Each structure stands twice: as structure tokens, then as C-alpha cells.
Structure 1
């Protein structure tokens, strides 16, 4: 039997969850259904939205902030960051523009978090 403590981030209540793994997974401490769903997802397949920057050329900015359009498996975050550290983007760029399609075959695009104008 394994016990894992989590703090739920699904709502402002921030319930202290205790997850007990044996034959089944039992969740205690949640005050709503969302807490149990969060704990199960976090234990079985944790995912995160990735925010980082890429190199930007031909602009006053040197780096362009980017983010994933959806959640990426937590186990792939550092691999995605390493991949994005090698990406160079030419200005102009519009906020929401796809920078990398289907990063590491996750089905998730990386998009620009802001616009960047080209140098005159």
C-alpha cells in the first residue's frame, strides 16, 4: 500500500488529498468530485501546460514567449523544452501563431504568447 499527499488545484478550496494506492485507488480529503478526478489524473497520467521561450530573430525582442495549446504529459516536459531551445523564429509573429505543430507527436501545438514586430 502506498500513500501520496496532494493539494488539489481544481478550485480555490485547495483540499489536502490523501491518495491510497492498493488494488484500487482511494482518494480522501476532497470536498467535491473535482478533487477525486484531479487526484486520479495526477496519479495515473500527470499533464501540464508548458510555457517557455524560443529564439526570436529580426525583432527588438531576443526571445519570444510561447506556450502549449493544451496539456503535455509531464514526463515529456524537459524533452519539449530541449527541443524548443533549438527553435529560431523570424519576426513578425502574431500572438496565437503556431510555432511548432504537434510537438514530439503529442498532438499539441506550441503557440506564440505575444506578438512581435519586425525590425524596420
Structure 2
């Protein structure tokens, strides 16, 4: 069955409304993109959507109880909840420096979980 989906492209600042006709993983037609990145974005969004995962991780003996973290690259959308489960069970020791790898290669995606700010020890 042929389906149609309209996406707001985030590949460039224009934010084009891109309409994709597809059947399963097969793209039939893409319309509305003003640049080539729009076509690539729409194809990926239908066939294998990915996202950067921003969240927080628990910190032991830190100035704050949580430290903001993110993946170093996009991971498959279907792995987000499992990744959140793993991160939610993890606690790291302060001090932490921005960019420190707190979890390596989460779920075999090749993405590391890194701190996005410094976290000093509790005074």
C-alpha cells in the first residue's frame, strides 16, 4: 500500500515541507525540497530514522545531581528507549569534564555518551 508522509526538513535552515510517497522501505516520490539535502533527509527519515540523544546522567559527589550528556552521533530511533534505560541506570563519579566519554559505544551504535558540561565535585 502506498503511503504519503509530510516532513519538515531540518537538513538546512529553510525548513522545507517535504512530501514523501513510499511503500514499505521503497521511496516512490519526494517533493517540496529546495536543496539536495532535503531529499537525503526525507529518504533517511522514512527508511532508517536517526537522532542525537540529549539527556542527563546521575552524578555521585557532584555539585549537581545530574550532568547533561548526549550521543556523539545520531543513533537509530528504535534504539532510543533502550539507550535511555542504560543511561538511567548509570551513575558517574565527579569531577567530570565536558567531552568526557561516560559510556562507550552505546548499544553497538558507534556513538559514545559524552558530558556536555563540566561537573565539579561537591564542596
TM over 0.5: yes
Whether 2:73 is the aligned partner of 1:70: answer yes
What RMSD over aligned residues (CA atoms) do the two structures have, in Å? 1.1
The residue matched to 2:89 in structure 1 has which SS?
A: coil
Whether 2:4 is the aligned partner of 1:18: answer no
Partner in structure 1 of residue 10 of structure 2: 9
Q: Provide TM-score, normalisation by structure 2.
A: 0.93
**1:49 Cα deviation after fit:** 0.2
Partner in structure 1 of residue 99 of structure 2: 96
| Cα distance in structure 2, aligned partners of 1:57 and 1:15 | 44
Kindly report structure 1 stretches of 4+ aligned residues shifted beyond 3 Å.
Answer: none
Listed as ranges, the matches of 1:1-120 within 5 Å are: 1-22=2-23, 24-120=27-123
**1:65 Cα deviation after fit:** 0.7
Aligned length: 120
| Cα distance in structure 2, aligned partners of 1:80 and 1:25 | 32
The residue matched to 1:85 in structure 2 has which SS?
A: helix
| Cα distance in structure 1, aligned partners of 2:14 and 2:110 | 32
Compared with structure 1, are the counterparts of its residues 16 and 99 closer, same or farther at alpha carbon in structure 2 (3 Å cutoff)? Answer: same
Compared with structure 1, are the counterparts of its residues 24 and 71 closer, same or farther at alpha carbon in structure 2 (3 Å cutoff)? Answer: closer
| Cα distance in structure 1, aligned partners of 2:84 and 2:112 | 13
